[in-house]
Amino acid sequence: MTTTQSAITAPAAGTPAPRRRRNTGDLLVRYAFVLPAVLYMIAFFGYPIIKNVVMSFQAYDFSTFFNGKAPFVGLDNYAATFSDPIFLRALGNTALFTVGSIAGQFVLGMALALYFRRRFPLSGFLRSLLLLPWLLPMIVSAAVWRWILEQDNGALNAFLTGIGLIDDPIPWLTSSDTALIAVIMVNIWLGIPFNVVLLYSGLQSIPEELYEAGQLDGATGWKSFWHITLPMLRPVVSVVLLLGVIYTIKVLDLIIGLTGGGPANATQTLATRSYEMSFVEFDFGQGAALSNILILIALAFSLVYLRANARAAKNG
Partner 1 sequence: MSTATDTASRPVLTGAPRRTRSARSALHTVIGIVLVAIMLFPVYWMVNASLAPAGNSLNIQWLPLNPDFSGYSRAIADQGQNLITSLIVAVGACLLSIVIAAPCAYALAQFRIKGTAALLFLVLISQMIPGIVIANALYTVYTPLGLINSIPGLILADASQGIPFAILIMRAFLETFPTSIVEAARVDGCGHVRAFWSIVLPVSKNSLITAGIFSFLFAWSDFLMALTLTTGESIRPVTLGLYTYIGTNDTDWSAVMSTAVLSSLPAVILMIVAQKYVAAGATGGAVK
Q: Which of residues 112-141 bind partner 1 (CB under 8 A)?
A: 112, 115-116, 118-141
Residues in the chain: 316
Measured between alpha carbons, how far apart are the two ends of the chain, in Å? Answer: 28
Q: If binding is defined by CB under 8 A, does position 267 make contact with partner 1? A: no
| Rounded Cα–Cα distance for residues 8 and 274 (Å) | 31
Residue 161 found at the interface with partner 1 (CB under 8 A): no
Q: Which residue blocks in the chain are alpha helix, DSSP H?
A: 24-41, 47-55, 64-67, 76-82, 85-117, 123-129, 132-135, 138-148, 155-162, 179-204, 208-216, 222-224, 230-248, 253-258, 270-275, 284-315
Residue from 84, 298, 304, 311 binding partner 1 (CB under 8 A): 298
Smallest separation, CB 153 to partner 1 (Å):
6
Range 203-262, binding partner 1 (CB under 8 A)? 212, 235-236, 239, 243, 246, 249-250, 252-253, 256-257
Show contacts with partner 1 in window 80-99 (CB under 8 A). Answer: none
Among 84, 227, 306, 311, which residue interacts with partner 1 (rule: CB under 8 A)?
306
Region binding partner 1 by CB under 8 A among candidate stretches 22-30, 87-95, 96-104, 168-176? 22-30
72 is an interface residue for partner 1 by CB under 8 A: no
Q: Quick one: CA torsion of 174, 176, 97, 282, rounded to 10 degrees?
A: 80
Is the separation of the CB atoms in 63 and 69 below 8 Å?
yes
User: Does 51 interact with partner 1 (rule: CB under 8 A)?
Assistant: yes
Give yes or no for residue 185 binding partner 1 (CB under 8 A). no
**34 forms part of the interface with partner 1 (CB under 8 A):** yes
Under the binding rule (CB under 8 A), the answer on residue 49 touching partner 1 is: yes
Of 73, 80, 96, 158, which lies in the binding site for partner 1, with binding defined by CB under 8 A?
158
Residues 6+ apart with CB under 8 A from 7: 239, 309, 312, 313
Q: Does 66 engage in binding with partner 1 (CB under 8 A)?
A: no
Task: Choose the binding region for partner 1 from 30-38, 74-82, 87-95, 170-178 (rule: CB under 8 A).
Answer: 30-38
Please tell me whether residue 4 binds partner 1 under the rule CB under 8 A. yes
Binding residues with partner 1: total (CB under 8 A): 117
Residue in 258, 255, 288 with CA at minimum distance from that of residue 272:
255
Q: Are 282 and 55 in contact (CB under 8 A)?
A: no
Q: Does 316 bind partner 1 (CB under 8 A)?
A: yes
27 lies in the site for partner 1, by CB under 8 A: yes
Structural Rg of the chain based on CA atoms: 24
